[in-house]
Structure 1
Amino acid sequence: MTIHVTPDSPLPRRFTAGDLRLMLDAGILHEDERVELLDGELVEMAAKGFAHDAVKNALNRRLTPILPDSIYLGIESTLQLEPGLLLEPDLLLAPLSARSASPEGFCTIPGPEILLVIEVAVSSLAYDRGRKAALYARHGVREYWVIDAQEREAWVHRAPIDGLYRDVVEMPRDAVLQPQAAALAGVAVPLADLG
């Protein structure tokens, strides 16, 4: 007699960027679907509303004219940090030379070479400040901003060590955000002017 033992709870199936590429190629997922791959879990993202779009576009308008040609400004670019991790930051700044294509065809940049990641949050504030912050810190992304699109407040995360940001500062609505990276000297973002 054969006895089959099943676990108390089903085991999740972890996906990779390669799996996601196959799903896209087969039409199971579409390029415009709002998903991220977080440590192998396929996570559906919320639709972006008016406040989110206003802040993201204001950031784009402010940054584009002042950035040198050597800086890549990714807007909702899919970023692959490891085989089971695909993120879609609202804005990403890195040296253009640090960017390359992964074997699966996604943008990849080593975390420590990323100058700044910006997430604009409405309903995802706790998620962006928690799980996503930990993922960026784990990969050595040196500076990470989370901007509350409704209140125009921000949390500036710096000094990633052992998967945590050691320096997290809440910035009020009247603050001006300035990245620490020397390559972004001269960048100033008044929160009150966003949207």
Structure 2
Amino acid sequence: LDTAIISIQNRFQQFKIYEENFGFHYNISSLKGWENVHLMDQCKLLHNHLLHDPDSMSSESDIDAIELCEELQILSSLVPENYTAQEVLQFIHSNNLNGIYPNISIALRILLTIPVTVASGERSFSCLKLIKTYLRSSMSQECLVSLAQLSIESDIAGQLDYSDILQDFSSVKAGKKQNN
């Protein structure tokens, strides 16, 4: 029980860090009412959080705080009310605005790719245990990776039309037999 409590506390602590650094990106249209100083403070906080080497004086960040603040001020008036971070990123990409709002695009992509849970990693290892059993312990790495990917992406694999794949496979095999 203590392990579960500590694990939950660590997870919520990590979410609190994400909220402190990325929270203002969740509703960009609401930034219209923010004071420039407060918005700049949030942008600087995110800039410092994304430093590649925080201890180095010449370290680079993925975003520029000043440019991000300016981009957010302009974009907040363009996006419709209550757009989510994903919808704002789609708005930027669909309107070819990546060159105009590069810092927002980068920040939103980082925000949206932060894993919410470790469930996908755990699922992959569970899948691996099912595939690589004692009887299949000598399986090649390439075969193991292919089987794991098929198992993990079973939804997509279930939608494949196997008739074309079987036709291609049989024509390749038939060609090899004729050559022998």
TM-score bucket of the superposed structures, by smaller chain: under 0.3
Which structure is larger by alpha-carbon Rg, 1 or 2? 2
Richer in helix (by share): 2
**Which is richer in strand?**
1
What is the TM-score when the length of structure 2 is the normalising length? Answer: 0.24
